[in-house]
Structure 1
Amino acid sequence: MFIGFAAWAYQALRPPPPKICGSPDGPPVTAPRIKLRDGRNLAYQEFGVPKDAAKYKIISIQGFASCTLDEDVVEEFGIYTVSFDRPGYGESDPDPNLTVKSMTLNIEELANKLELGSKFYIIGYSLGGMITWGCLKYIPHRLAGAVLLAPIVNY
């Protein structure tokens, strides 16, 4: 009887499987997404001047908050920024095997699919600082520069 109760309690406390955006029972897809080489989707949003006219192309990596740039600064300096939903958040598919290296390679693939060129900038805000360090370690040849804003990392 105890084993039966334990099995029932385990099933009752176990969370339901996630509902993936765009799946039959999941929420609708509203953001642009790219398909990664492993078949998952990564949602993103573009800000600033058109990509072709931009002097600076930046990928913004956020933790659990977001930061925006003043519209006048964006226009004056010709800044194009792309932000994305981390795997498992927003409209991006989850990655059960997520590591700093795989996240870094996702960013490189995002830059390739959006045709940001051979070099781009990275801004890591808060928890995004950890991924920025990953970019510095795994894809330094692709970075024109990196910025850490209030990073939560071990320096």
Structure 2
Amino acid sequence: MSLAEPLRLAVGLLATAIGLVALLLLCAAVATRLIAWRVEARYPAADRSVEIEGGRIAYLEDGPETGARGTVVLLHGASANAYDPMEGVGRQLAQSGFRVIAFDRPGYGNSDRISGADAASPAFQGRALGQALDRLGTGPAILLGHSWSGALALRMALDRPEQVASLVLVAPVAMPLPSHPLPWWARIALTPPVTWLLTQTIAVPVGLSYLPSVARSVFKPEAPVENYLAASRAPLILRPGPALANIRDLSGLPAALAEQAPRYETIAVPTVIVAGEADPVVQTRLQTDPLSRAMPHARRVVLPGAGHMLTYTAPDTLVREVEALTAAIAR
């Protein structure tokens, strides 16, 4: 047998393998489009929007049209959208007399992913949402940032203090994260072309299978609230655009935190930090405790036995803290 025969065999096997992978990715891409179509049909995103430089920011609004006690702006965490904090604590704030605005962060829900080299950073997203607040004419507002958006709310207070009356940081990610070397496969997956390909193909079908268990896990050790997935419209993350935005926002956060955390001591607005003692997602000892030391003027509230989803499990506490801040500002 000549040397050409094994070579032809190897080339044939390689071509077959490439063809099978391509077929798998094609099937996954079709499944992704079908899932996204069904999600958008079943869970309509926020339908109000405001034009800013570079695109459109979607939002929800509730509360009195006139005579409001103040304006509260809700900023959602990773993998979420405006409905998540609005259905958790926003409606209750509106019933208490506040004007409540919940934004879809850029790239989530119905908001455009405003293009820019640093689009994943709290600084960039803070500028975008700051423009939206200007367009809406809110004046200084209470920013309530949950989880990832703890960093966003803090950044807005640093960069646009004239728009911020006070801060309510709920289970916030704010302090620099420990650095751990990523395995080789994760480094490959996080390169922009590969990340884009994954979100167009396998990420959404895989996410669909894991979404219910992930939703349960973020509530631990508490029980998840009934009908959380439908109320929060969490399945809206199961679309290529939001999935890609989420991955990039999460992977870019450590560098952003390292840059902005040393400036927290300069924030002068009234601030309360509310955390769950048993939060398994954003551990209090690694985030809330050092943040409290960096902002000694901030009020620290740690709820015994509570987990991460305080907007759903402790809305009464959050409303009381907003009311207390409003009273303090008025004095």
**TM-score bin (small chain):** 0.7 to 0.9
In structure 1, the residue corresponding to 2:124 is in which secondary structure?
helix
**Distance in 1 (alpha carbons) for counterparts of 2:75 and 2:94:** 18
Partner of 1:36: 52
**Distance in 2 (alpha carbons) for counterparts of 1:30 and 1:153:** 27
Runs of at least 4 residues of structure 1 off by over 3 A? 1-16, 26-30, 73-76
Unaligned runs of 5+ in 2: 1-10, 34-39, 176-290, 292-331
Gap change, CA 1:48 and 1:138, over 3 Å in 2: same
**Distance in 2 (alpha carbons) for counterparts of 1:29 and 1:87:** 13
Asked if 1:108 corresponds to 2:127, the answer is no
Shift of 1:59: 1.0
Shift of 1:4: 9.7
**Distance in 1 (alpha carbons) for counterparts of 2:69 and 2:102:** 17
Identify the range of structure 1 (134-143 vs 88-97) with the bigger mean alpha-carbon deviation: 88-97
Partner of 1:125: 146
Shift of 1:7: 9.1
Number of residue pairs the alignment of both structures matches: 144
Task: For 1:34-113, list aligned pairs within 5 A.
Answer: 34-38=50-54, 40-50=55-65, 52-63=66-77, 64=80, 65-66=84-85, 67-69=88-90, 71=92, 74-76=94-96, 78-97=97-116, 98=119, 99-113=121-135
Aligned CA RMSD, in angstroms, stands at 3.1
Gap change, CA 1:30 and 1:54, over 3 Å in 2: closer
Shift of 1:79: 0.5
Unaligned runs of 5+ in 1: 20-25
TM-score (normalised: structure 2):
0.38
Task: For 1:126-145, list aligned pairs within 5 A.
Answer: 126-145=147-166
Percentage of identical aligned residues: 20
**Distance in 2 (alpha carbons) for counterparts of 1:11 and 1:102:** 38
**Structure 1 or 2: larger strand share?**
1
In structure 1, the residue corresponding to 2:152 is in which secondary structure?
helix
**Distance in 2 (alpha carbons) for counterparts of 1:79 and 1:35:** 24
Deviations 1:119-155 (A, max 9, x none): 1111101221111121122111221111101112313
Gap change, CA 1:48 and 1:152, over 3 Å in 2: same
Residue in structure 2 matching 1:152, options 163, 169, 173:
173
**Distance in 2 (alpha carbons) for counterparts of 1:140 and 1:120:** 10
In structure 1, the residue corresponding to 2:89 is in which secondary structure?
coil
Decide which structure has the larger Cα Rg and report it: 2
Shift of 1:61: 0.3
Deviations 1:91-120 (A, max 9, x none): 111235312111101111111111112x11
Gap change, CA 1:31 and 1:142, over 3 Å in 2: same
Gap change, CA 1:31 and 1:69, over 3 Å in 2: closer
Partner of 1:23: none
**Distance in 1 (alpha carbons) for counterparts of 2:155 and 2:89:** 23
**Distance in 2 (alpha carbons) for counterparts of 1:30 and 1:140:** 27
